[in-house]
Amino acid sequence: MTAIDNSFIDKYRNKNFTINPLPNGLSDHYAQVLVFNNTNIQNPFTYPIIRRNINKFTISEFKLHLIYKSWDNVFYDDKVNTVLHNFLSTYQRIFYHSLPLKKYIYIHNQNNKTWITAGIKESCIHKRKIHMLSRNTKNPEL
């Protein structure tokens, strides 16, 4: 019985690795051990999310900027495309300034087991109590 695995490494991106033979005593073929040195492994359950910082304060700031903005430069031309372009650029400038992007680190909760009912939780607590009792006593009936 044999098991063959293939690993492909980009030598130009991952320069700090070693491959060593590992005698396994099962046959005349040695296993190969691939070791990556000094690698930074990101936690797979955390990742960045970029969202707009929208709350009651940023929304009120956005509204205030819209109210106090002089819209004279938007309507100075008779061409519809120019007016639309001027309006959109003014509006977007205020929008991006008042509601900036913010980077959040999202942490995925592995313990989010919504399928566990109250009855299952109660049974787990009861089982844990019985286990602790049986561990600390020599009573065969328990």
Q: In 3D, which of 115, 102, 112 has the Cα closest to residue 45?
A: 112
Structural domain boundaries in the chain: 46-107
From CA 95, how far away is CA 61, in angstroms rounded? 10
From CA 10, how far away is CA 131, in angstroms rounded? 51
What pLDDT digit, counting tens, does each position of 16-26 carry?
888 888 877 77
User: For residue 133, what pLDDT is reported?
Assistant: 80
User: For residue 55, what pLDDT is reported?
Assistant: 92
Cα dihedral sign, 9-12-17-21: positive
Beta strands in the chain (DSSP E): 17-22, 31-36, 46-52, 101-107
Residues (pLDDT < 70) of the chain are 1-4, 13, 27-28, 39-44, 109-112, 142
Whether the CB-CB separation of 48 and 104 falls below 8 Å is answered with yes
How long is the chain? 142
From CA 80, how far away is CA 74, in angstroms rounded? 10
From CA 95, how far away is CA 106, in angstroms rounded? 25
pTM: 0.45
